[in-house]
Amino acid sequence: MNAHAAVRPRAIKKIGASELHILWSDGHTSIYRASYLRRHCRCALCVDEWTGRPLLAPEAIPDDLTIVSVELVGQYALHFQWSDGHSTGIYPFAQLRALCPCEQCAGASSSHAPLT
């Protein structure tokens, strides 16, 4: 079982247009840049559904990408509308927690390091 599967957000706050802060139920705070999250989209337009191969070139996402809107999806995920027009990705809370880019979390998992 994923170590972050039971961790839920206590607070979600959009800071400006390009940053999202999440305070998790385990007390940890994650700070995400919009471009970082967009580069980790797992929707069918961004990742081949059969092979899992990325279809999105990370360099195609501008560093100044912004969050147009963010909404809850049920009690399990967030949905974003990005300034590049993309809006099909759903980000489950467990995925967001696993993607935390802080030094402590990045040291625990290198699966997301190349796309910073």
- What's the rounded Cα separation, in Å, for the pair 16 and 41? 21
Is 25 inside a domain boundary? Answer: yes
- What's the rounded Cα separation, in Å, for the pair 34 and 14? 10
User: Residue 69: its pLDDT value, please?
Assistant: 98
Is 67 inside a domain boundary? Answer: yes
pLDDT digits (tens, 9 = 90+) for 15-37: 999 999 999 999 999 999 999 99
pLDDT at 114 over 80: no
- Residues with Cβ within 8 Å of residue 81, at least 6 apart in sequence: 67, 68, 69, 70, 87
Q: Which domain holds residue 31?
A: 9-115
pLDDT at 116 over 60: no
Is 74 inside a domain boundary? Answer: yes
- What's the rounded Cα separation, in Å, for the pair 99 and 89? 15
Is 73 inside a domain boundary? Answer: yes
CATH number at residue 109: 3.30.2020.30
Q: What does the pLDDT average to over 88-111? A: 89
**Domains identified in the chain, total number:** 1
